[in-house]
Amino acid sequence: MGNGTELRFCGIILSNAQLEMILETVHDCAGLSRTELANTVCELLEWRRPNGSLKGHECRQFLEELESKDMLRLPASRGSRRRAAEKPAALGQSCDGVSEAITGKLHELEPVVLEPVQTRQQRRRWREWVDRYHYLGCKVPFGAYLRYFILITRPQTKTVGCLQISSPAWRMAPRDQWIGWDDAQRLRGLQHVVQNSRLLILPWVRVSCLVSSALSVLARRLGDDWEARYAVKPVLIETLVDPSRFRGTCYRAANWIYLGQTSGRGRMDREHERHGASPKDVLVYPLCRKAREKLREV
């Protein structure tokens, strides 16, 4: 790339010709929005998901990464001020005053169900609760994702939490060593791995074993839900747990497998500047038999 540094999009090394096409497109189409630019680049380079849809979100993040390296100049984001103006209204409206304590034994409140987030109102409520009550806040995940509400159904249906599944980490030593794949196998198989990137039980809910029950429900339905949306059936779920905050007990109770700790760098630390800064526990849950073998053979 001129300075000896490789650029990667979704794990694939960018060629000089591809980079030149991106730079020319951004320069020649300066009147487009960031989203329109990203979609245009995806169409030119055939960056698509298995279901044929463009990898527009990932491409926009990639373009913004190039801008941070002073390799190109993107147009100003058009939606930031509008979203900032909407947020106070959303915070005041979407909780519906639901804050009474929810307690009891799980068998008195079951079955636990997952409700996909689909409508605009549901999306606003999900974002608000995660932004307010999850220590990481609400951020648009990298790549593909699904979001759910966690519900109890007795004596009446109530929302008790939020859950998000998104694209996996590109590289993660404990996971990659456990699977036993090489780089070529990882690039082919990674689309069959997903990550539980947010899990929140609302602060007024106190029900033992609720999380492990929700994770069990997720394991039963996720494969079909993800395949229906993205035309790929996942065979493994991963998650990262901050050991300075949590022990991961609920995951272990749901039979997730502990694999070790990350280096603490994070997805975007390609220069290894944050090595060891915030290591996370890595846990995985196979969604089918012989998941490791299937990921190596894809």
Q: What is the pLDDT of residue 40?
A: 87
CATH of the domain at 157: 3.40.630.30
What span, in angstroms and rounded, lies between the C-alpha atoms of 298 and 296? 6
DSSP state of 131: H
Q: What is the pTM of this model?
A: 0.74
**pLDDT of the residue at 93:** 36
Residues 49 and 178 in one domain: no
pLDDT at 191: 93
pLDDT in the model for residue 1 = 52
**What domain range is 24 assigned to?**
8-68
The answer on 151 and 49 residing in a single domain is no
User: In this predicted structure, what is the pLDDT of residue 271?
Assistant: 44
Q: Mean pLDDT, 10 residues at a time, over the chain (298 residues)?
A: 70 88 86 86 88 87 90 79 42 48 94 96 96 92 91 96 95 96 93 96 95 96 95 96 93 96 64 59 97 94
pLDDT at 21 (0 to 100): 87
Structural domain includes residue 76: no
Query: Could you tell me if 150 and 191 lie in one domain?
Result: yes
Contacts of 16 (CB under 8 A, 6+ apart): 1
- Check residue 224 and give its pLDDT: 96
User: What is the rounded distance in angstroms from the CA atom of residue 141 to the CA atom of residue 198?
Assistant: 10
Q: Count Cα neighbours of 39 within 13 Å in the Cβ-side half-sphere.
A: 7
**Domain membership flag for residue 91:** no
